[in-house]
Amino acid sequence: MKDDTEKLETGEAAKRIGFSESYLVKLRSTGGGPPFYKFGRKVVYSVGDIDAWLASRRVTQTPEEHRKNGFPARSPENRTAPA
């Protein structure tokens, strides 16, 4: 088990998350992925940041199930931007 301060290169981080390396690169350039460190051309991810990012995306219902259970859809004004 890796400790929270350990750093992973893009391929290792993608494997930990369950994404392809190319998708993680895309998230890095478009936003919405886990925080990362950049040193010149080298990019690394903190294990703690990856785990926190994954935990922040945990859901118990899809939006469709949420509406089926009697909750209204969120309006665009109430939506939060991805972290």
One-character DSSP codes across 7-33: EEEHHHHHHHHT--HHHHHHHHHHS-S
Q: What is the pTM of this model?
A: 0.70
Direct distance between the N- and C-terminal alpha carbons of the chain, in angstroms, rounded to an integer = 26
| Residue 9 to residue 26: CA distance in whole angstroms | 15
| Residue 6 to residue 66: CA distance in whole angstroms | 37
- Write the pLDDT tens digit of every residue in 20-76: 999 999 999 999 999 999 999 999 999 999 999 999 999 887 777 666 766 666 555
Residues 6+ apart with CB under 8 A from 56: 83
